[in-house]
Every structure is written in C-alpha cells, then in structure tokens.
Structure 1
Amino acid sequence: MVPYSSALGLPHTWSSGSPCPSSAVGRVFFQILGAIAEFEQALMSERTMDGLEAARARGRTGGQKPKLGPQVQLAREMYDSGELTVQQIADEFGITRPTPSIYRYLGKVPSQPQRAHLTEHR
C-alpha cells in the first residue's frame, strides 16, 4: 500500500522517529518487514505440512469421525426394506438428511435388491 501511494505522489504523515517510505532507509525498512512477514508465513505453512505428515504416519487423517460405525449395515437394510423414508432413517440414527451424510452412508454398503426410487421428494 505504501509503495503504491508513494508512486501516486500522495503525501504521508509520519510521526517523528518513524522511517519515511519515500527515503532509502524507509524503503529498506518496509522491505525487511515484508520479508519477515513472508518468512513467517512460509514457516507456518511448513509446520502445518510437517504436522499433517506426522499425523498421517501415526495413521490419523483429518476430518470428522463417521457418525455411523457398524450401524451402516442396519441403515442400509432399513432403506432396502422400503418401510422407512430416508428422513426417518436419518432421524433414527441422529444424522441429517439435507447434508449428503445419509446418502453417503447408504452408498458405502452394497445394497440388497434395488428400490424403485433411490431418492425421495421433499
């Protein structure tokens, strides 16, 4: 911002003792501050990548844990029976229907004979 406004010839008001961005010392000062900020950003990025790599080495991955564990098979059986709607199945297991979660879970287990309608109308 300062080099851009300096190039436009806009005046700057600086308190005494602060480097003026139009002087050589001021330009070096702001370049050093920019380099330090860039260095900090690079360090944070490297540390994040190192942390993710270490977590993967320990067998951990990101994201939430699945809401349904061994109950996925039961949810699929309920869906394939045709007696309950997807909303009722979602309510039964405490997961939401508007998000793709119930459909994601139902898609992970091989289905029994296919139902005529795979999705429901709201």
Structure 2
Amino acid sequence: MDQLRNGDTLVVWKLDRRGRRVKDLLDFAGGLCDGGIDFISLTDAIDTTTASGRFFFKIMASLAQVERELMVERTQAGLRAAREQGRVGGRQRIMTDSKIRSARKLLCEGTPLKEVAKNLGVSVPTLYRWVPASKTGQGFDSVAAVVGARDF
C-alpha cells in the first residue's frame, strides 16, 4: 500500500479479501480515490475507473457484509443448538472420573507417580492437575486423608 502512487491501479483477487464491513471497504476505496488510485477486483469484475464500476463496488461491499453477518448468525445458532442438546465444545477430558479414582487409589497404595501416569496414559503434569498433592505437604501419601475414603 505504501508503494501506490497517483495513477496506479490496485488489483485484488476478491473484494472480501480486503475487508468485511461496508464502511471499511468504502473508506478504503475512498482513500484510494482521494489518492488518484484506481481499484480492480478480478473475481468480482469491479473496476472503479468507471461510474458503473464504482456503483457495483458499493453493491458488492454490501453483499460481502451481509454474507459475513449471516455466517456469524448461523454459527451462533449452531452453537446454541449444540449446547441445548448437552454438547460442549473443546477437547474431551483425558482424565475421566474413573481414572481419577484409580489414580488416587494407586497413589495412596504407594505406587510411584510416574508409574501411575504411565498406566493411565497421561503425563505427570496432567496427573498433578487432576489429582493434586495433599495440602499437608506430605505429597501423595496422604491423598486419602484429604480426599476421603468415600472416593475410593
């Protein structure tokens, strides 16, 4: 953009690659026009060197904005529908409730931390995240006292 000078023509592949909102596209085109720079969009067949090209540019900019807003509305509606059906986004938890119970039990029995993590197919930091060490500072030896026997 810094290289463009009066009399130059900026050529883009598609109008919506330059911006989504009509105001942004019109401000951009107005800035080009003020600088004496023409604008051509190859896919949309827009050429602002003519009156009809400028008119068509404004119509296409409006359509690009409407298309973007519809896409956002559809995405939000889909996410709402998924939440109503009980689905949540993101990755599935690697530590299920049964794995957490197993980890606590193994750790209370004295199984080394690395071995428990390997058996459950998780990393040691993941194990720490889901089965934190006791608040007494004695490590995993006293997990049962902190958590309670009912969890086993």
Task: Sort the TM-score into its range (normalised by shorter chain).
Answer: 0.5 to 0.7
Which of 84, 99, 102 lines up with 2:127 in the alignment?
102
Code of the aligned partner of 1:46: E
TM-score between the two structures when normalised by the length of structure 2: 0.55
Does residue 6 (structure 1) correspond to residue 28 (structure 2)? The answer is: no
Matches within 5 A, 1:5-84: 5-10=32-37, 18-69=45-96, 70-81=98-109, 83-84=111-112
Report how many aligned residue pairs link the two structures: 110
The alignment's C-alpha RMSD in Å is: 3.2
Note the alpha carbon deviations across 1:32-55, whole angstroms, 9 max, x for none.
212111111111111111111111
The structure with the largest strand share of the pair is 2
Please give the per-residue CA displacement for 1:19-76, whole angstroms capped at 9, x wherever unaligned: 4314432222112212111111111111111111111111111122222321211112
Question: In structure 2, what is the Cα distance between the partners aligned to 1:46 and 1:73?
Answer: 42
Q: TM-score, normalised by structure 1?
A: 0.65
How far apart in 1 are the matches of 2:137 and 2:109? 8
Q: Which runs of 5+ in 2 are unaligned?
A: 1-17, 19-27, 141-152
Unpaired runs of at least 5, structure 1: none
One-letter amino acid of the structure 1 residue matched with residue 75 of structure 2: T
Counterparts of 2:41 and 2:67 in 1: how far apart (Å)? Answer: 27
Percentage of pairs with the same residue:
28
Which protein is richer in helix relative to its size? 2
